[in-house]
Amino acid sequence: MDKTTDKTHEKAMKTEEGSADVVHLTHLTNPESIYHLRLGFSSLASTPQSSKWYLYLMWPVTLWTSLMTWFYGKTFVLETNNFKMLNLQSWVIPRFHVQYVFKWQRETLNKFIEEAILEAELSGVKGDKLNKFGELYIKSYPQLKIKIVDGSSLVVAIVLNSIPKEDKTTQVLLCGKLTKISYAIVNALCERGTKVTTMYKDDYDNLQSKLSSESKKNLVFPGSYTAKIWLVGDQIKEAEQKKAPKGTLFIPFTQFPPKKLRKDCFYHTTPSMLAPSSLVNMHSCENWLPRRVMSAWRIAGILHALEGWNVNECGDFMFSIEKIWQASLHHGFRPLKINPLVN
């Protein structure tokens, strides 16, 4: 059903690794996620990632695959796409999300990422998109010609534009771990006059230190669980979700979605946009996102290459939120609308 012709598909698949203009660097989420890749089962890859009962029957294969990636894994090219004049590639680091939590795995993970960046540099890649902040690698290799983009500015822009405007929202509740992205979201909302509430004094103090004197009046502590718009970060507690009023809209600003504990509430997708039809060879889903929907972190690198922005976006630096939002719309990416009838 995809409009991409067989000829275009074959051309894209024959593209050499070294000819990529933009590289999206990602990793596996859990042991079963390998079945959802294009090299796994096409029937699973074409639908959003979710647990299937029959995958539990394949635990011997899953265990063997996990061990192979753990001890002998090497970064590999997952997908090749074409958009306008750019050749896009997704590279997978053979490590699972849980491994990023272990301190004793950091050296190995940093080595994988470092090797991928250097390989991209040698291959002549124009831009590299990292899921984690890439400031460490820029400092280690200041002579790098490629630019590292963590996509934080587009994430902020998508979250801000996901807040319903027709409801004239005047108050939101911020939950979860504070990050570079959450600081930027709170700052933008407070500047536009929206009240941002938090239930934790430490978070309030940290946020206050980042705001201008004029914006500080719109940051409220203690907050209230009665807000109908919740901005959700990592480590949100299940007990907090249960306190949300009926009809609450949860808007995550993280790469991983929160658990959907409430059937009487609505959950927005993680920051993402619908890809334009001219972006070809998109046959598989990106993790739990619907088909032809791309994460903000992935789109950001593409936009930087299209616009010729010769800057790194990583560490504490964040690109212009309004500029990258307008660029995304200009190049055909469209925001997702939550369907109140389907949750």
**Going edge to edge, which strands form the sheet with 76-83?**
76-83, 86-93, 22-27, 127-129, 147-149
Count Cα atoms within 13 angstroms, Cβ side, for 155. Answer: 29
Strand partners, 174: 231
**Per-residue model confidence as pLDDT tens for the chain (343 residues):** 555 555 544 544 444 445 789 998 887 776 666 666 766 566 676 676 666 666 677 677 767 676 666 666 677 787 888 999 899 998 887 766 555 555 555 566 666 676 777 777 766 666 665 545 567 777 777 887 888 899 999 999 999 999 987 656 689 999 999 999 999 999 999 999 999 999 999 999 999 998 988 889 999 998 889 999 999 999 899 999 999 999 999 999 998 899 999 999 999 999 999 999 999 888 778 888 888 999 999 999 999 999 999 999 988 899 999 999 999 999 999 999 875 434 4
Cβ atoms of 38 and 90 closer than 8 Å: no
Q: How far apart are CA 44 and CA 19, in angstroms?
A: 29
Spatial CA neighbour of 323 closest among 310, 336, 304, 298: 304
Q: Is 30 exposed, middle or buried (0-12, 13-18, 19+ CB in 10 A)?
A: middle
- Please state whether the peptide bond connecting residue 222 to the residue before it is cis, i.e. omega within 30 degrees of 0: yes
Q: How many helices (H) and strands (E) does the chain have?
A: 11, 14
Strand partners, 335: 273
pTM beyond 0.75, yes or no: yes
